[in-house]
Amino acid sequence: MSEVNDEKVKLENIKPDKSLRILTGDRPTGRLHIGHYFGSLKSRVELQDKFETFIEVADVQALTDNFNDPDKVKRNVKQILMDELAVGLNPNKVTFLLQSMIPEIAELTVFYSNLVTIARLQRNPTVKTEIAQKKELFGESVTYGFLGYPVSQAADITAFDASYIPVGEDQLPLIEQCREIVRKFNSIYGETLREPVAVISDKSRIKGLDGNEKMGKSLGNALYLSDDLDTIKTKVMGALTDPARIKKDDPGNPDICMVYYYHKLFSSDNECKNICEECKKGARGCVACKKQLIENIDKELSPIREKRHYYEEHEKEVMDILMAGTAHARETAKETMEKVKKAMKLDY
Ligand code: SF4
């Protein structure tokens, strides 16, 4: 079934092919931040011209660890869509879909649950890490739904017959789990499903403004695509710099400074070279350095904010885009379901 035999490829190494489908998505648990922007949204904008692109708003998956806060999930469905549209994802090129409105995904999840053992899910490194991070929610006892979310992800991927799945390195075990499920399904029921290939991007994780490896709302260290200029100023002014620098002419170490880290994302190579040299010589003040960064961040984010503002004023248009995409995606999921049921002798 699969024309692509690799298990993972680098983003820059995949050849454009409009006959192949990419599936990616987000859990609607909060607005998207610049970690998402550099880690995935920018590459999605490129990919929309190279592949048939499906983007899922994974509300069912968001409930696996937010089951006690359905309002939060519902509220963020629109927020996520607005962020996606604001960065330049074009609904004429991309199919946006809402997971909970595709019942075939839930049905496939049930079928696939026979093909994976509890021990295998417990050993999945991504799941293990996430369970450890969610101790407060789950205590000592994780839910069946959360433990099984890789199975539901395998259902997402295969429902839409996706060839390529853009992920960060830390998400690779989820794609491997999906590939195992597909292989097992095909070996038992006959060649039916496509094995997906993970697409890895170099910038898959961006550190927070405080230097934390992870960026997030609960950590208070994220810059959101929807942040206004005043919020950006406050956040950047509070970013971690070289703590050993007390006076303006103290020589600094840009490699341990988050302002420099962000300059490398938002400023030109030439600017970065100057910043690095001047910082090391003690010829640059941190306040001026931060102001320059704020200016460059604003240059990149203000067109996104403007576009987002349009969608904030036109919420119905946002939901219409999502509903139209979901209807289109469901047709594909129905076709997959027909094949799966036939293979499993459930085609009554
Ligand atoms: Fe960081 Fe710039 Fe200060 Fe150097 S001058 S420590 S790069 S903020």
Q: Which DSSP string do the residues of 215-270 spell out, in sequence order? A: --TTTT---BTT--HHHHHHHHHTS---TT--STTS---GGG-HHHHHHHHHS-HH
Distance 225 CA to ligand 1 centre (A): 24
Ligand 1 in contact with 293 (CB < 6 A)? no
154 Cα distance to chain centroid: 16
How close is the Cα of 281 to the center of ligand 1, in Å?
A: 11
Distances (CA, A) of 188 to 2, 179, 182, 196: 17, 14, 10, 18
Residue partners of 198: CB distance under 8 A and separation at least 6:
7, 8, 9, 164, 165, 166, 167, 171, 172, 175
The finding on whether 260 has its CB within 6 A of some atom of ligand 1 is: yes
* 252 touches ligand 1 (CB under 6 Å): yes
Distance of CA 176 to the CA centre of its chain: 17
Q: Is 236 in the pocket of ligand 1 (CB under 6 A)?
A: no
Among 41, 123, 50, CA closest to 87: 41
Between the alpha carbon of residue 41 and those of residues 86, 182, 212, 224, 225, the distances in Å are: 10, 27, 21, 13, 11
At 5 the pLDDT is 55
Q: Is 275 near ligand 1, meaning CB less than 6 Å away?
A: yes
- pLDDT value, residue 63: 95
- List per-block mean pLDDT (blocks of 10 residues) for the chain, which spans 348 residues: 65 89 95 91 92 97 94 97 97 98 98 96 88 80 91 97 89 93 98 94 80 82 95 95 87 94 96 95 93 97 97 97 98 98 97
Q: Which atom of ligand 1 is nearest to the CA of 254?
A: 7
Q: What is the pLDDT of residue 260?
A: 96
Q: What is the CA radius of gyration of the chain?
A: 22
Q: What is the pLDDT of residue 10?
A: 85
